[in-house]
Amino acid sequence: MRRFIAARINQLMQLFLEFDSPPQNAEQLLQRLRTYGLNGIKSLKLTSNRAVMVSFSGSELRINKGYLSAPEDVLRAIVSFVQGRTKAERRLAQKVILTHPVAAAHRAPVRRPGRADPHDAVTLRELAYWHQEYNLRYFGGALAQIPLKLSGRMRSRLGQYTTATPYGEPAEITISRAHIRKHGWAEALHTLLHEMVHQWQAESGLPIDHGPTFRDKAAAVGIAPQARRELRTPSAASLVVTQHELGLRAARRS
């Protein structure tokens, strides 16, 4: 009996010492979160993402490495964010999560914008028009008006929604210039609406992923519910017409 008690005390002392120091790696952080009630997550990846501090998809959880030093209330909030069943629970958890300051050393540097294209001003005005139109048509005008950007760096991605950061950087949607040139304006608008569904997820306090809520909303707004879709390159003649018509429409509204 004495041996059992001594062994138990030793285990408790080891547990106390472990909790007295912050986790040092992804495995230790995952174990710590599990002691706070995390379940359903099989792997954890540390990131240096500039905008997204915590995200999860399926059984993988992604956390900015700056959260290795986060206090207990913030770590418990991460668990609540993952396990939360209501929007209110997730929103409350998000607020607590973002109270933890993440040093610049743990955030990826802001990328400088690529070289501007002469047609950018026209294209961005058109994207802004359609963002407003789709917002009214499919989201009841509830989405925020956020910056829209074009990127010449995107090679494999068609577009991207980036959430606002705790450091004053606003949410934004970026569309690939190469995507517009190669696949045409109709496909570019499809991508814009895809990213707006992610914006809706973020502003609704939902995880930003391609899970059931994304697929349901994508189907409701009439876009492909998959993370990736098959694209067909239109003929050169149709691309010329599309770009010409885009310029005329933008000019009439300017």
Q: Is residue 113 part of a domain?
A: no
pLDDT digits (tens, 9 = 90+) for 138-184: 999 999 999 999 988 887 789 999 888 766 678 999 999 999 988 89
Report the DSSP beta bridge partners of residue 43. Answer: 60
Same domain for 56 and 155, yes or no, is no
CATH for 204: 3.30.2010.10
Give pTM, 2 decimals: 0.58
Token code pair at residue 155: 């090679």
- Specify whether the CB–CB gap between 123 and 246 falls below 8 A: yes
Same domain for 102 and 124, yes or no, is no
Q: What is the reported pLDDT for 140?
A: 96
Same domain for 68 and 152, yes or no, is no
Which residues lie closer than 8 Å to 190 by C-beta, 6 or more apart?
223, 224, 229
Which residues lie closer than 8 Å to 221 by C-beta, 6 or more apart?
134, 138, 193, 196, 197
Token code pair at residue 85: 């069943």
Amino acid letter for position 27: E
Residue 73 Cα to chain centre, angstroms? 23
Same domain for 249 and 137, yes or no, is yes
Structural domain of 15: 2-106
Q: What is the reported pLDDT for 100?
A: 83
Hey, what long-range contacts does 18-22 have (CB within 8 A, 24 or more apart)? 22/68, 22/69, 22/70
pLDDT at 213 over 60: yes
169 vs 191, residue with greater confidence: 191
Q: Is residue 16 part of a domain?
A: yes
Token code pair at residue 101: 């300051």
- H-helix or E-strand spanning residue 97: helix 87-97
Same domain for 92 and 167, yes or no, is no
Percent of the chain with pLDDT over 90: 39
Q: What is the reported pLDDT for 218?
A: 93
- Look at residues 75, 106, 137 and tell me which one is the last residue of a structural domain: 106
Q: What is the reported pLDDT for 90?
A: 84
**Phi and psi of 36, rounded to 5°?**
-95, 5
pLDDT digits (tens, 9 = 90+) for 1-48: 666 565 555 555 455 444 567 888 999 999 999 999 999 899 999 988
- Specify whether the CB–CB gap between 48 and 64 falls below 8 A: yes
Q: Is residue 112 part of a domain?
A: no
Same domain for 130 and 222, yes or no, is yes
In angstroms, rounded to a whole number, what is the distance separating the alpha carbons of residues 204 and 99? 19
Same domain for 178 and 221, yes or no, is yes
Mean pLDDT for the chain overall: 79
Same domain for 68 and 162, yes or no, is no
The torsion of the CA quartet 73, 77, 79, 84, rounded to 10 degrees, works out to 150
- Look at residues 61, 81, 106 and tell me which one is the last residue of a structural domain: 106
**Domain tally, the chain:** 2
Q: How confident is the model at residue 199 (pLDDT cuts 50, 70, 90)?
A: very high
Same domain for 179 and 232, yes or no, is yes
In angstroms, rounded to a whole number, what is the distance separating the alpha carbons of residues 240 and 119? 13
Same domain for 157 and 198, yes or no, is yes
pLDDT digits (tens, 9 = 90+) for 117-144: 667 889 999 999 999 999 999 999 999 9
Give the largest CA-CA distance in the chain. 88
Q: Return the DSSP state at 194.
A: H
In angstroms, rounded to a whole number, what is the distance separating the alpha carbons of residues 176 and 182? 10
Same domain for 180 and 142, yes or no, is yes
